[in-house]
Chains A and B, each alone.
Chain A
Amino acid sequence: QSALTQPASVSGSPGQSITISCTGTSSDVGVYNSVSWYQQHPGKAPKLIIWDVSNRPSGVSNRFSGSKSGNTASLTISGLQAEDEADYYCCSYTTIRTWVFGGGTKLTVL
């Protein structure tokens, strides 16, 4: 099972919006609405920010939103803030009943 494809890095200025893509296949992202997104600050454990494509856990800012079209899922962060600077990972359930993560995207807030 190959890792999902994410851009290595994205950047944006405070207040702007950015979108991170996550491309899989018809064996994972394309077949299940079981895509989740995690935020990880340096030296910290990952934190769930989106589950099942577009649902936000309680306490996560509504500036974070998720969507999916075909084999590609997306995470959008609006109104960028300095604290959003982190690594972001997508994850999908697969047809062989395993999970697969994306390679991660480093977000830089300029």
Chain B
Amino acid sequence: EVQLVESGGGLVQPGGSLRLSCAGSGFTFSSYWMSWVRQAPGKGLQWVANIKQDAGDIHYVGSVKGRFTISRDNAKSSLYLQMNSLRPEDTAVYYCAREGGGHYSDYWGQGTLVTVSS
């Protein structure tokens, strides 16, 4: 059974940093593109970033470029999102998702809440 489990969320002050992790199991992690998608409280989904199997191709939404860094460790079947210079508008549930062989996410984690507030 495919499972994705996020961790690392919490409360952080504006300008602070946080590192999210996502542990994958039940599939060959190194064979899939992976993504982060976020959802602000009461709002819709927003794609954040994705990363190729070998980390050789990475893309970000404009609003996080230069502040967030996506990475992966295939040996640990883990995906990461380093978030720096956090802003209140980054407050959201962050989901880790597997890309299913095309431009879509076929499995999602349960999400981890990041709150940016003083």
Contacts and interface: CB of A to CB of B under 8 A. Distances in A.
Contacts, number: 62
A32 B103 CA distance: 10
A36 B108 contact: no
Contact of A45 (B62, B104, B109): B109
Contacts of B95: 45-46
B63 to A, nearest CB: 10
Contacts of A52: 102, 104
Contacts of B50: 99
B110 interface: yes
Interface string B60-93: 1110000000000000000000000000000000
Contacts of B27: none
Closest 9 CB pairs of A and B: A36-B104, A93-B103, A34-B103, A99-B47, A104-B44, A51-B104, A45-B108, A101-B45, A103-B44
